[in-house]
Amino acid sequence: MLALIDYGSGNIRSAQKALEAAGARDVRVTADPDLITRADQILLPGVGAFGDCVANLAGVPGLRAAIEARVMVDGVPFLGICVGMQLMAEMSIEFGTTPGLGWIKGVVSVLKPGDRQLKIPHMGWNRAEPSSDCQFMATWDGPQDVYFVHSYAFRAVNPSEVAAWCSYGEERFAAAIQKDNLFGVQFHPEKSQKAGLLLLEEWLKL
């Protein structure tokens, strides 16, 4: 059973349809801590401001604790999408300092492409380049164009935990993060056509 976390901070319907198209058989859209503690996989979407997403997680009694117990103690596969990936960081400096989940060392900070013609947010198609040792993106067989919508990026302390990179002007930022059972993508696989579905298919095999 796959728990797709519905905490008021993600495009749930699009994520659910993409998971089902990728072969997921039992997707539960939920914020029920009891159900989450029985999940075999957990997906956390996220759109909007980091602080709002943190507040929404905290706003459901027992939700964060259930996710952390299942992911960090039991070790079930976890996928964070967009802000859902950023929440794994230690903190964000978007509109002040907001602590994250602290699962992966790093800070979320604003993109600085260094070219006034490049707009923020970074929105649209761009190329993600998998790291050589990334197990989840092996199915891509090389760089792929994927769909981004974001103004902030995850700055991982340990570069070996960056599963894929993307360049936007002078910026080179983490397009994906990987550590043990934790995986996250800054782009939206549900909007990234074949490349996104291939990635979801690979993650569902875990």
Q: Within 13 A of 163's CA, how many CA atoms are on the CB side?
A: 23
> Which residues pair with residue 4 across a beta bridge?
29, 43
Active-site residue numbers? Answer: 82, 188, 190
Q: Which residues of 139-150 are buried (b: 16+ CB within 10 A; e: fewer)?
A: ebeebbebbbeb
Q: Which residues contact residue 140 at a Cβ distance below 8 angstroms, ignoring those fewer than 6 apart?
A: 130, 195, 198, 199
* Full 3-state SS string of 5-51: ECCCCCCHHHHHHHHHHCCCCCEEEECCHHHHCCCCEEEECCCCCHH
- The radius of gyration of the chain from alpha carbons, rounded to an integer in Å, stands at 16
- How big is the CA angle at 176 (ends 90 and 162), to the nearest 5 degrees? 70
Half-sphere exposure of 177 (CA within 13 A, CB side): 30
Relative orientation angle of helices 193-204 and 12-21, to the nearest 10 degrees: 70
